[in-house]
Amino acid sequence: MAGSVNKVIIVGNLGREPEVRTFSNGGKVCNLRIATSESWRDRNTGDRKERTEWHSVAIFSEGLAKIAEQYLRKGSKVYIEGQLETRKWQDQSGQDRYTTEVVLRPYRGEITLLDPRRDDGNGPRDGGSQQGGGYSGPSGYSDERNQRPDFDDEIPF
Amino acid sequence: MAGSVNKVIIVGNLGREPEVRTFSNGGKVCNLRIATSESWRDRNTGDRKERTEWHSVAIFSEGLAKIAEQYLRKGSKVYIEGQLETRKWQDQSGQDRYTTEVVLRPYRGEITLLDPRRDDGNGPRDGGSQQGGGYSGPSGYSDERNQRPDFDDEIPF
Amino acid sequence: MAGSVNKVIIVGNLGREPEVRTFSNGGKVCNLRIATSESWRDRNTGDRKERTEWHSVAIFSEGLAKIAEQYLRKGSKVYIEGQLETRKWQDQSGQDRYTTEVVLRPYRGEITLLDPRRDDGNGPRDGGSQQGGGYSGPSGYSDERNQRPDFDDEIPF
Amino acid sequence: MAGSVNKVIIVGNLGREPEVRTFSNGGKVCNLRIATSESWRDRNTGDRKERTEWHSVAIFSEGLAKIAEQYLRKGSKVYIEGQLETRKWQDQSGQDRYTTEVVLRPYRGEITLLDPRRDDGNGPRDGGSQQGGGYSGPSGYSDERNQRPDFDDEIPF
DNA sequence: TTTT
DNA sequence: TTTT
């Protein structure tokens, strides 16, 4: 449809290890189960309440699936951006059923790891990088950044 | 959970009229059915493909439900911001079923109408107020805007 | 930095025509000026107040720049997704100055037109394709949608 | 303006301690300086490049300012949702200058702490809370969650 | 400079 | 069931 947007942003923790499945055509999907939660105080009793929401995530982007598989673990905190998709399937009795997932397709999705870098003896990888010059010129614009982030050959975070 | 975010942003069109239901306790919910769609070109055949996604929206915020009921119609284009919630219910045979919706709760959701103002002969509804000075002072900050947007006693868009 | 997100989402109207500039190296930028506004009721006087915010947008993605140039006009309503960037420049007196813009770089930005299709006598431009079956299979997943949206050879909205 | 959205989402780290200032009228603002960064590989040299972007954040929401002051420190990782605002001021020579900030006003902004809970001897704070029943009833909806999150009397994360 |  |  002209002019539509379908976007989900989740920051939460994995409830279990990522699961990767390969299809007969060579394609892959990586499934995540992510928890978010909100808390509030009950209007009547004054008790503190909390509810956890569980999100099903399906990553079809090959680069992002590889990252998810390699770097995410049960308990990892992650930022996920994808789109809502509901798919129809049939249960054993032949009845229509629907499942809604947060889906990351190529070019339409993002993953950002939010776990602190466990510093395992190797030096700091995330020093205090600074604003960085070289970002001007006559037009006031530089084009050095107009490139595809490489997802595939390195750790992009 | 500490540090989680659960956010959905949808821009799409209503597939039918908003539906409002009142609960026995006086509460209300306004349900919307919103379509988004994406298109792509098939990698093999080169054909143009399109898929429409249907989103179920449930508005529990009283102010926003009123706005939805009053201003949204079948076909309306709208920006919706809410959170993902999956609720469990039992079908006739007693089996567990799950439904995922985009939910707008008080203080956690937003609606913005995107239909052009149809000027149907009635004059302008809002003077052409402009950028408005008075936005400085010693600190460089003014506090005049730090107020709750009124959703309830007027049309907020 | 590990694990960061820099995202701006704007829905507003163009205050003037898009401006395209070409750099000596062949690169292009398309600049937009977009207004958003919010209104509130003054806490003391009860008067209705409104403030318009003007956003400077710079599109470096070639495909998106082409779309912006071709389809956006003064007054157009548009959804923009980009990232915040502040660049430094020198004014005539040699003093450092800073300008903050919403920047759309390749693979990191989105444009969605929100103007209603003005049907100006020319027939429909796109058949009424519908939900489209073929979206299941043993895995419950189909891969037909895992493709790059084509921005370059057609109108993507 | 009818139908506009002005939203910024930042996940990054504080470059310095939060700064709180009080105005003569009793109002407060909490200012943050947050870094995000992106990296890419240079198209020509193949070198890994990185650029850090610094964001100025101004929190006018009293509840959120209190949280920021109390829980954020230099180095803290945080999710911030606010709106873009550009304000005009005069420099010493009387020239107009503009500063663009990410602003959190009451009811229009969000903060989520992303630092892992330093477990200082007290037991686990974030046990595996579960989906939680009690979320159904005839309508399939419960209203227990339709309440204002309390920001003011407790730690909301 | 837009929109309501 | 919407929109293009």
C26 or A58, higher pLDDT: A58
**What percent of chain D lies above the pLDDT cut of 70?**
76
Cα D16 from Cα D57, distance rounded (Å)? 12
Is the pLDDT at C138 greater than 80? The verdict is no
Mean pLDDT of C87-109: 94
- Distant-in-sequence, close-in-space partners of A37: CB < 8 Å, separation ≥ 6: A12, A50, A51, A52, A53, B1, B4, D129
The highest-confidence range among B128-137, C110-119, C133-142, by mean pLDDT, is C110-119
Closest residue of chain B to D89, computed from CA coordinates = B140
Which residue in the set D5, D98, D99 is minimally distant from C10, CB to CB? Answer: D5
CB C1 within 8 A of CB D114: no
A144 touches chain D (CB under 8 A): yes
CA atoms within 13 A on the CB side of D139: 17
- Distant-in-sequence, close-in-space partners of D70: CB < 8 Å, separation ≥ 6: none
Chain E nucleotides close to protein (CB under 7 A) are 1-4
CB atoms within 10 A of CB B19: 12
Cα D6 from Cα C88, distance rounded (Å)? 24
Q: Can you read off the two tokens belonging to residue A19?
A: 């699961």
Residue by residue, pLDDT tens for chain A (157 residues) are 569 999 999 999 999 999 999 989 888 999 999 999 998 888 789 999 999 999 999 999 999 999 999 999 999 999 999 999 999 999 988 999 999 999 999 989 999 999 987 665 544 333 322 222 222 333 457 667 877 664 444 443 3
CA distance A39 to chain D (A): 7
CA distances (Å), origin A46, targets A41, A49, D150: 6, 9, 11
Q: How far is CA A42 from the centre of its chain?
A: 32
Q: Which residues of B touch D21 (CB under 8 A)?
A: 139
Task: Identify which of B12, B148, B7 has the alpha carbon closest to the alpha carbon of residue B72.
Answer: B12
Identify residue A5 by its one-letter amino acid code.
V
Question: Nearest 5 degrees, angle CA A18-CA A20-CA A23?
Answer: 160
- pLDDT value at position B149? 61
Cα D111 from Cα D65, distance rounded (Å)? 9
Is any atom of nucleic acid chain E found less than 7 Å from the CB of residue C157?
no
Residue by residue, pLDDT tens for chain B (157 residues) are 569 999 999 999 999 999 999 989 888 999 999 999 998 888 778 888 899 999 999 999 999 999 999 999 999 999 999 999 999 999 988 999 999 999 999 989 999 999 987 655 443 333 222 222 222 223 456 667 777 664 443 444 3
CA distance B36 to chain D (A): 18
Of all nucleotides, the one whose C1′ comes closest to residue C128's CA is F4
CB A38 within 8 A of CB B6: yes
Contact A154 D48 (CB under 8 A): yes
Cα C30 from Cα C82, distance rounded (Å)? 13
Chain F nucleotides close to protein (CB under 7 A) are 1-4
- pLDDT value at position B43? 76
Contact D146 B106 (CB under 8 A): yes
CB A71 within 8 A of CB A113: yes
Chains that touch B (3 or more CB pairs under 8 A): A, C, D
CB C53 within 8 A of CB D87: no
Contact A77 B10 (CB under 8 A): no
- pLDDT value at position D132? 25
First to last CA, chain C: 34
- Nearest amino-acid residue to E3, taking CA and C1': D1
Q: Which residues of D touch C5 (CB under 8 A)?
A: 9-12, 36, 79
CB B7 within 8 A of CB B81: yes
Q: Which residues of D touch B96 (CB under 8 A)?
A: none
CB C149 within 8 A of CB C156: yes
- Nearest amino-acid residue to F1, taking CA and C1': B15
Cα C85 from Cα C104, distance rounded (Å)? 10
Q: Is the dihedral of CA D132, D136, D140, D143 positive or negative?
A: negative
Which residue in the set B2, B25, B113 is minimally distant from D2, CB to CB? Answer: B113
